[in-house]
Structure formats: structure tokens, C-alpha cells
Structure 1
Amino acid sequence: MTTNSLSGKVAVILGGTGGIGLAAGKAFASIGASVVLTGRNADSASQAAVALPAGNHLAAVAEIGDSASLRALAEDVQRHYGRVDILVNTAGFTRLIPHADLEALSDALIDELFAVNWRGQFAAIRAFAPHLRARRDGLVVNVGSIAGRTGQGSNVAYCAAKAGLDVMAVSLGRALAPEIRVLNVSPGAVGTAFVPGRSSDFNERAAKSTPLKRIGQAEDVADAIVACATSLRFATGTTIVVDGGRQLG
């Protein structure tokens, strides 16, 4: 029998000050979880945490590209709550670069894109794994993108990093079972400011080319993330696509 209550559970959300991260935090808190929202600075994390439904929540500072920062975060959360049940990786960044403009995708930018959109997620899982394993019912949810399947996205390296998250779920879903489940939630176009420089009419054009005739909202992705912890308890090593059918086009 499934239950929607996460009372007593602790959910850590990396990138918790962003649109999807904050929406996930609100959704987890609304069903009883204690939520740790992380951001790159204390002020943004604290402001985000204030927006959560009342509960035993925490704002924290962490840098997804810094493994030492992630290890320190894991230890701090464990000391504060005495447990960690759920890790959600929503942190990331991208830059809009035409796929045919090979020179614009420099080595330095490629390294940064992979450090923040793939290596950091792995490093976070590595840091939190001992605490998640101790619960014998741990959950990791990485937020990917259909760009990893379609090869259409803000730039080629971003698409490749997101494809890497799909493979990571398969590999770690196998390697960390049965104590930790690993799932990806893969959205299409979402109405946030995640992609800088995207034209103002992009959302309208994306909605027209999506079978369900709208783009996603942060809450749509958050609902899928929460479902991984509540309804989809016999799932691991796979990717849940939440794109309104966009990749069908």
C-alpha cells in the first residue's frame, strides 16, 4: 500500500533556490517531510526556506561543483537531523549555444557544464550514500532533461551531460540497490528562467509543438519528484519523462 505522508523523513534538495528545486521543497514539506534547501549563498537559501510550509526545515549553502562542499553538507545534515532519507539533485546550469557553432563551445565551458550537470550530481550521491544507505530505504532523484534523449537543447555538451544522468540512474540503480533507489525525472520545456538568453516567444512556440499544448511548470516536475518517494516505490534505475509529450514531436 502506498502512502503520501513523508512525516519524519528528511529530504535534501540541491539547487533548492531554483524554480524546480523550490517547488519540490514545497511539495515535500506539504506532506510532512523536513526539507533542506541548498543554494550558493546563505541569503538566497534562507529566503527560499521561508517560502516552505511550516516544519522543521533548514537552509544550507553548498556548491554542486565542489565535492568538499557536498561532503560537508552531508555531514551537517546528518548531525542536524540524525538521518537523511531523500536526495534530490536539481542544481545545474547551461548556456544557449547553437549546436553548429563548434568554436563557441570551448573546452573550459564543456568542463564546467559537465562539472555542474553530471560530476556534481555523482559527487552529491557519493557524499550522501552512507547516510541514505543507513535508512535501508534511501532515494536519489536526479533532474535530467529530454535533451539527453532528443539531442535538442541549449548546447551539445548540456545534452550530453543530461544523457549521462540517464545512464547514471541505470548504473547506480543497480549498484546501490536494495538500500538506495535511484531515479531520474526528465522534463521538457519548463516555464522557469533556467536557460539565459532564450527568446521571449520560446515558450509559446514550444507549447504549440507539444502534444498537450502547453509547456511544463515547475510544479509538474515537483509532482513527479514527489511521486518517486510516494507512489513509485518499486521503481529504480529508470527515467520518468514529464514533458507533455514534447519528445514525440
Structure 2
Amino acid sequence: MTGVLVVTGGSRGIGAQVCELAADRGYAVVVNYSGDPAPADEVAARVRAKGRSALAVRADVADEQQVGALFAAAEELGPLAGVVNNAAITGNTPGRLDEQSADTVRRVLDVNVGGVFLCCREAVRRMSVRRGGQGGAIVNVSSTAARTGSAGEWVHYAASKAAVNTLSLGLAQEVADEGVRVNVVAPGLVDTGLHAAAGLPDRVARIGPAIPLRRAGQPREIAEAVLWLLSPAASYTVGAVLEVGGGR
């Protein structure tokens, strides 16, 4: 596979693993991040060490102008072949819905839903054969929380991921005959730094044993699903939500 892959939230966790695995599969990679540049620079360096081109680009995916700049930067590496919309936040305030602030919920929706919309729009504008592109694939990273509801922790986050699933289904139908495949990977519990950052450092150890596989997933396991959906092996897969949750 050749071409450029944009990975939002690519500096840590699942996103970082997607970037590295994409390099192994032949992509040039744009590592998007919104905060500390050091982890993104490290991921980009690991991509280059595999013989692939890489850029680390700072952009808040909820900001229209910054998203435009992100995709403009990606063009420096070559034609856009794929986008992985992985950037997301929980709001870092676990608790019941009636304990959440309106500002927290708005920010979660802006990043998790608005950011996916903006990045999908820019991707389609560049990849759709109807618009002069060469085709490509979009994988949006959702969550099994869209199905379970995440009661008592992040109902607003779960709602945002349900919106991602619906957005992806509708977009998939709009652009399937324009050379652009859109699909979703919905991870379950994954052992990343998200839980500690959100104030629940024991969450993986607490929930993991209740999963049918008796453990949390690893970022590499989610990345493998993402790369499959990007690949020609998934050429007849459109509008799917692939749950990777250990059976939970």
C-alpha cells in the first residue's frame, strides 16, 4: 500500500500503534497531536526508522482552520490514501450524567463528533474520485461504549461514539461509489493511558477480569483491525462497525 495516511490523536496509545503499523504496511504517516509535541515527534521518528516519510502536525480537530492546515500539511508527503479518526476525549470527569458540566459535554462533542466530521469532510474532498481524487479509505475509531452506554462514568462520551457510528454509516453510503470506503473500529477496554488521565487509574485492572477473554486489549490489537479496514483485503467492507472488545 502506498500513499499518505493521516492519523488523528496519533502520538499515544492506539493512535501511535496505528502509525507504526501503517509504516510497516507502506504508508507515509502524518502524526496528528494537540498537546505535547514530544510523543508525536517520537512516533514520527519511529516511522522514519522504518523507511517511511512522516510528519508530526499539531492541530485541534475541533477547530476548522486547524483541520484544514493539518490536511494541507499532509499534501507535502503525497496523495492522501487514508484517514484514521482516532482523536477523542472523555472530558476527564467520570461520573453520572447529572454531575457533568455543560462545558465538559460540549467539548467532548466538539472533539469526538465535530472533529470526525471535519476530518471526514477534508478527506472526502481530497480522495473522492468525484472530486478528482484517487480514492481511499477512512476508519473512524468509536467504542463499544456506544452500545453499552458507559453508565456511571461517561454517558456523554458513549453518546459521542454512537454519533460517530451513525455519521460513518451515512457517509459510507454517500461515497462508496466514489472510491472511498468508510468503516468503524469500536474498541472495548484497552490498556492505554486514557484511564489514568481521566482519573480512573485502576479501571483496567478492575474491569479486565470481567471480560470474556479475562483481560483488556492492547493497542496493537486495535491497530491491526484498523489497518485491515484500510487495506485492499477489506475491499467489500463498507459502513461496518467492527467491535474489538474481547467479547464484552
TM-score normalised to the size of structure 2?
A: 0.90
Quick one: distance in 1 between partners of 2:25 and 2:34? 26
- The reply to whether residue 83 of structure 1 matches residue 85 of structure 2 is no
**Is residue 32–residue 40 contact of structure 2 (8 Å, CA) maintained in 1?**
yes
**Is residue 4–residue 78 contact of structure 2 (8 Å, CA) maintained in 1?**
no
The match for 1:36 is 30
Which secondary structure does the structure 1 equivalent of 2:186 belong to?
A: strand
The match for 1:177 is 176
The one-character-per-residue Cα deviations of 1:70-94 (angstroms, maximum 9, x if unpaired) are 011112212x133101000111111
Quick one: distance in 1 between partners of 2:201 and 2:63? 31
Which secondary structure does the structure 1 equivalent of 2:80 belong to?
A: coil
Which secondary structure does the structure 2 equivalent of 1:222 belong to?
A: helix
The match for 2:143 is 145
Which secondary structure does the structure 1 equivalent of 2:17 belong to?
A: helix
Instruction: List, as ranges, runs of 4+ consecutive aligned residues in structure 1 with deviation greater than 4 Å.
Output: none
Which secondary structure does the structure 1 equivalent of 2:183 belong to?
A: strand
Structure 1 portions without partners, runs of 5+: 1-5
Q: RMSD over aligned Cα, in angstroms? A: 1.5
Counting only pairs closer than 5 Å after superposition, residues 187-206 of structure 1 correspond to structure 2 as 187-195=187-195, 196-200=198-202, 202-206=203-207
The match for 1:26 is 20
Structure 2 portions without partners, runs of 5+: none
**Is residue 63–residue 69 contact of structure 1 (8 Å, CA) maintained in 2?**
yes
Which secondary structure does the structure 1 equivalent of 2:176 belong to?
A: coil
Give the letter aligned to residue 121 of structure 2.
R
Q: 1:96 to 1:108 in 2, by over 3 A?
A: closer
Give the letter aligned to residue 154 of structure 2.
N
- The reply to whether residue 119 of structure 1 matches residue 120 of structure 2 is no
**Is residue 210–residue 245 contact of structure 1 (8 Å, CA) maintained in 2?**
yes
Quick one: distance in 2 between partners of 1:149 and 1:226? 23
Which of 52-61 and 233-242 deviates more? 52-61
Quick one: distance in 1 between partners of 2:95 and 2:56? 36
Give the letter aligned to residue 236 of structure 2.
F
Match of 1:107 among 91, 97, 102: 102
- TM superposition shift of 1:180: 1.1
The one-character-per-residue Cα deviations of 1:123-153 (angstroms, maximum 9, x if unpaired) are 1111222212144431111111000011126
Quick one: distance in 2 between partners of 1:91 and 1:77? 17
Counting only pairs closer than 5 Å after superposition, residues 35-54 of structure 1 correspond to structure 2 as 35-41=29-35, 42-52=37-47, 53-54=50-51
- The reply to whether residue 68 of structure 1 matches residue 69 of structure 2 is no
Give the letter aligned to residue 205 of structure 2.
E
**Is residue 96–residue 198 contact of structure 1 (8 Å, CA) maintained in 2?**
no
Q: How many pairs align?
A: 236
The one-character-per-residue Cα deviations of 1:69-122 (angstroms, maximum 9, x if unpaired) are 0011112212x13310100011111124222x50x2111111101001111111
- TM superposition shift of 1:51: 2.3
The one-character-per-residue Cα deviations of 1:187-220 (angstroms, maximum 9, x if unpaired) are 01000011321142x2233221111121111001
Give the letter aligned to residue 92 of structure 1.
A
Quick one: distance in 2 between partners of 1:77 and 1:155? 33
Give the letter aligned to residue 241 of structure 1.
E
Which secondary structure does the structure 1 equivalent of 2:243 belong to?
A: strand
Which secondary structure does the structure 2 equivalent of 1:37 belong to?
A: strand
Which secondary structure does the structure 2 equivalent of 1:177 belong to?
A: helix
Identity of aligned residues (%): 28
Which of 50-59 and 156-165 deviates more? 50-59
Quick one: distance in 2 between partners of 1:128 and 1:62? 15
**Is residue 85–residue 135 contact of structure 1 (8 Å, CA) maintained in 2?**
no
**Is residue 14–residue 21 contact of structure 1 (8 Å, CA) maintained in 2?**
yes
Give the letter aligned to residue 119 of structure 1.
G
